């Protein structure tokens, strides 16, 4: 069994054709980081006439959506579930292109299978009749409550996503304007409380409330506004990008290249230069300084403020305030390839363990690494033959785990934890797994900290609690430094590919017009 990886590097698109280049003398924007949010921001800035450069610490673009290639397998490191395709289509349209010309998004049916600890399962899909039948299979008396839950989730979608999602929440006025909508959604309830108000069956309560985990939130404490995810999925579908999520990243980098925007890899920013209270450029790890008219950070906001900006420039985001924040869980991810195929395993599967509320409390509140776990198993080769050699399967399995406040020494714990997951998979859905593995690699919370520079190794930035959302989340226009902007998971609106693409839209509302620099 090999246990090393070769990252995908040198696979950036060919040189720019020059189309859509910024005019001579255009003001310059530096974007720190090439996650979905950073690339979307760069596209939007470039379309508005900025001269843009993206600086990326890693040797390839994508951030959490980086791609690992090993032994003929291709592993998307992070996002696998693509929802709200129109947010991507908008970016392609801004560049005069069509997303479908570059990347095929294939709808998933069912979206995913939720397997409970007793071996029963719920197939979650976008087909209303099928969903009602699945709910009735578990508890016919819950069908009416399920319909009421859908109505509430749809209200949260209309108010929380359509109306408030791309608003920048730049001032207290924005918050006050949103207050009536928050009240209509009764946003102070947790999503679990909301679901329990409608459904009696324990398993259905889990199936309808786990969605915030996809964006780093504890269903027991995040606002019920996030039930909008449920509506998003049903309205726009769940898709797989053929070639892997990395195909979307490569497509975005190609759009930028065509506009003359470089994505410079192996370029870690060590410091944001602040002069007279204004960001005027960045200093790189090699000591060189790049000047810019504005700086947009796609790096974790807590890390950006704490490590890239000297404390004397931070009245709002002091170290104390950053430390007081509540951060999302982290993830343990095991990527592996097998020399046989497991054709009865669907593309997306949740394998729930014996505990739900108690496990969530261990992860989010006690910061305790429990012995049991709930898993998300990803088998892209179910849909896409390009990700594994013929006759093989590519997988990743992830377990939500506490962030680094758990004190876990992952250098020691990673292998026993991986083995425990392997045993669980072998006993449930992947018989004989151990003998079939031909390639393997893990990512731990320590890697989120060391490699992706995420504060406390949190996988999704700040936890999406009501008092850490919208105006309470780090603003897209920095509260502390003029000319500094934030995009990505830990600013407004939040984590997940749709969230970070929306953050680039929110950013557009607060960046200055290029004419101001003429
Ligand atoms: C395992 C996993 C699975 C997920 N699954 C899904 C899913 O199925 N669907 C979904 O919608 N979402 C999913 N998510 C969430 C989603 O991937 C993220 O919320 C989103 O991709 C984050 O994008 P971002 O723009 O915030 O930037 P990130 O992807 O966090 O990228 C930030 C970039 O900034 C770079 N950087 C940081 N500091 C510096 C510096 N000082 N100098 C230069 N560069 C720097 C980093 O190297 C990184 O490339 C998943 C996340 C994980 C971890």
Name which residue sits closest to atom 51 of ligand 1, judged by CA.
Answer: 78
**What is the atom index within ligand 1 of the atom nearest the CA of 58?**
47
Instruction: Kindly report the pTM of this predicted structure.
Output: 0.94
The string of DSSP codes covering 285-308 is: TTS-EEE-SEEEE-S-HHHIIIII
pLDDT value, residue 92: 98
Of the candidates 67, 420, 389, 412, the residue with the CA atom closest to the CA atom of residue 244: 67
pLDDT value, residue 19: 53
**What is the atom index within ligand 1 of the atom nearest the CA of 33?**
34
DSSP-derived 3-state class of residue 463: coil
Report how far ligand 1's centroid is from the alpha carbon of 243 (Å). 19
Burial of 518 (0-12, 13-18, 19+ CB in 10 A): exposed
Name which residue sits closest to atom 53 of ligand 1, judged by CA.
Answer: 78
Of the candidates 513, 442, 487, the residue with the CA atom closest to the CA atom of residue 39: 487
Among 42, 299, 454, which residue has the most ligand 1 atoms within 8 Å of its CB, making it the best to mutate? 299
Report how far ligand 1's centroid is from the alpha carbon of 428 (Å). 30
pLDDT tens track, the chain, 518 positions: 333 222 333 334 443 444 568 888 899 999 999 999 999 999 999 999 999 999 999 999 999 999 999 999 999 999 999 999 999 999 999 999 999 999 999 999 999 999 999 999 999 999 999 999 999 999 999 999 999 999 999 999 988 888 877 777 887 888 888 888 888 888 889 999 999 999 999 999 999 999 999 899 999 999 999 999 999 999 999 999 999 999 999 999 999 999 999 999 999 999 999 999 999 999 999 999 999 999 999 999 999 999 999 999 999 999 999 999 999 999 999 999 999 999 999 999 999 999 999 999 999 999 999 999 999 999 999 999 999 999 999 999 999 999 999 999 999 999 999 999 999 999 999 999 999 999 999 999 999 999 999 999 999 999 988 889 888 899 999 999 999 999 999 999 999 999 999 999 999 999 999 988 87
The whole-angstrom separation of Cα 498 and Cα 227 is: 14
**What is the atom index within ligand 1 of the atom nearest the CA of 77?**
1
Among 44, 57, 64, 378, which residue has the most ligand 1 atoms within 8 Å of its CB, making it the best to mutate? 64
Q: b/e for 171-200, b at 16 or more Cβ within 10 A?
A: eeebeeebeebbeebbbebbbbebbbebbe
The whole-angstrom separation of Cα 363 and Cα 398 is: 14
Q: What is the DSSP letter of 53?
A: E
CB 472 within 8 A of CB 35: no
Write down the residue that tokens 């509320």 correspond to.
357
Burial of 101 (0-12, 13-18, 19+ CB in 10 A): exposed
pLDDT value, residue 10: 34
For residue 361, the tally of other CB atoms under 10 A from its CB is: 16
For residue 138, the tally of other CB atoms under 10 A from its CB is: 18
Report how far ligand 1's centroid is from the alpha carbon of 57 (Å). 13
CB 142 within 8 A of CB 197: no
pLDDT value, residue 518: 76
Report how far ligand 1's centroid is from the alpha carbon of 68 (Å). 14
The whole-angstrom separation of Cα 305 and Cα 300 is: 9
Q: b/e for 35-50, b at 16 or more Cβ within 10 A?
A: bbbbbbbbbbbbbbbb
Report how far ligand 1's centroid is from the alpha carbon of 465 (Å). 19
Q: In sequence order, what are the residues at sequence separation of 6 or more whose Cβ sits closer than 8 angstroms to the Cβ of residue 162?
A: none
Give yes or no for a cis peptide into 92 (omega within 30° of 0): no
Report how far ligand 1's centroid is from the alpha carbon of 459 (Å). 8
Name which residue sits closest to atom 34 of ligand 1, judged by CA.
Answer: 33
Residues with CB under 6 A from ligand 1: 32-38, 55-58, 63-65, 78-81, 268-269, 298-299, 331, 333, 398, 452-453, 459-460, 488-489, 495-497, 500
Among 30, 35, 215, which residue has the most ligand 1 atoms within 8 Å of its CB, making it the best to mutate? 35
Of the candidates 500, 491, 220, the residue with the CA atom closest to the CA atom of residue 365: 220
The whole-angstrom separation of Cα 363 and Cα 279 is: 37
Beta strands at 348-351 and 330-338: parallel, antiparallel or unpaired: unpaired
The three state secondary structure string of 119-159 is CCEEEECCCHHHHHHHHHHHCHHHHHHHHHHHHHHHHHHHH
pLDDT value, residue 452: 98
For residue 129, the tally of other CB atoms under 10 A from its CB is: 8
CB 434 within 8 A of CB 426: yes
Name which residue sits closest to atom 15 of ligand 1, judged by CA.
Answer: 496
pLDDT value, residue 396: 98
pLDDT value, residue 3: 31
Of the candidates 499, 464, 390, the residue with the CA atom closest to the CA atom of residue 161: 499
Tell me the CA distances in angstroms from 506 to 216, 308, 494, one per residue in order: 21, 23, 11
Q: Which helix (H) or strand (E) holds 92?
A: helix 85-94
For residue 291, the tally of other CB atoms under 10 A from its CB is: 10
The whole-angstrom separation of Cα 131 and Cα 124 is: 7
């Amino acid at each position: 069994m090999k246990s090393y990886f070769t990252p995908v590097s040198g696979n950036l698109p060919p040189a720019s054709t020059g189309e859509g280049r910024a005019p001579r003398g255009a003001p310059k924007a530096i974007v720190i980081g090439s996650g979905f949010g950073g690339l979307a921001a760069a596209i939007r800035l470039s379309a508005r006439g900025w001269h843009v450069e993206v600086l990326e610490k890693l040797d390839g673009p994508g951030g959490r959506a980086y791609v690992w290639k090993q032994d003929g397998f291709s592993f998307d490191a992070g996002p696998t579930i693509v929802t709200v395709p129109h947010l991507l289509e908008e970016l392609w349209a801004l560049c005069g292109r069509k997303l479908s010309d570059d990347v095929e998004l294939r709808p998933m049916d069912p979206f995913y299978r939720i397997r409970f600890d007793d071996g029963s399962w719920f197939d979650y899909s976008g087909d209303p009749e099928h969903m009602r039948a699945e709910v009735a299979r578990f508890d016919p008396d819950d069908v009416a409550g399920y319909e009421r839950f859908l109505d509430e989730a749809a209200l949260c979608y209309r108010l929380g996503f359509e109306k408030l999602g791309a608003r920048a929440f730049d001032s207290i006025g924005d918050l006050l304007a949103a207050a009536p909508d928050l009240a209509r959604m009764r946003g102070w309830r947790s999503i679990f409380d909301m679901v329990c108000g409608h459904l009696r069956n324990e398993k259905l309560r889990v199936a309808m409330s786990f969605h915030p985990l996809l964006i780093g939130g504890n269903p027991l404490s995040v606002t019920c506004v996030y039930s909008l995810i449920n509506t998003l999925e049903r309205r726009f579908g769940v898709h797989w990008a053929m070639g892997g999520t990395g195909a979307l990243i490569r497509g975005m980098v190609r759009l930028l290249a065509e506009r003359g925007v470089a994505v410079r890899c192996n370029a870690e920013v060590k410091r944001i230069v602040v002069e007279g209270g204004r960001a005027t450029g960045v200093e790189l790890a090699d000591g060189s300084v790049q000047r810019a008219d504005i700086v947009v950070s796609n790096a974790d906001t807590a890390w950006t403020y704490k490590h890239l900006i000297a404390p004397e420039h931070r009245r709002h985001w002091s170290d104390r305030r950053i430390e007081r924040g509540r951060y999302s869980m982290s993830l343990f991810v095991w990527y592996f390839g097998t020399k046989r195929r497991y054709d009865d395993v669907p593309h997306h599967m949740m394998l729930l363990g014996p505990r739900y509320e108690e496990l969530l409390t261990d992860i989010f509140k006690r910061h305790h690494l429990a012995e049991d776990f709930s898993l998300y198993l990803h088998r892209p080769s179910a849909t896409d033959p390009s990700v594994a050699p013929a006759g093989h399967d590519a997988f990743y399995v992830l377990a939500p785990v506490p962030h680094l406040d758990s004190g876990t020494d992952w250098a020691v714990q990673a292998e026993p934890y991986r083995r425990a997951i392997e045993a669980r998979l072998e006993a449930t859905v992947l018989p004989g797994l151990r003998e079939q593995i031909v390639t393997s690699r893990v990512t731990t919370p320590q890697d989120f900290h060391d490699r992706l520079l995420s504060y406390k190794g949190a996988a999704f930035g700040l936890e999406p609690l009501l008092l850490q959302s919208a105006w309470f989340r780090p603003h897209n226009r920095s509260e502390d430094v003029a000319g500094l902007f934030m995009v990505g998971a830990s600013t407004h609106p939040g984590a997940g590919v749709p969230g970070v693409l929306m953050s680039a839209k929110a950013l557009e509302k607060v960046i200055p017009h290029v004419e101001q620099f003429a």
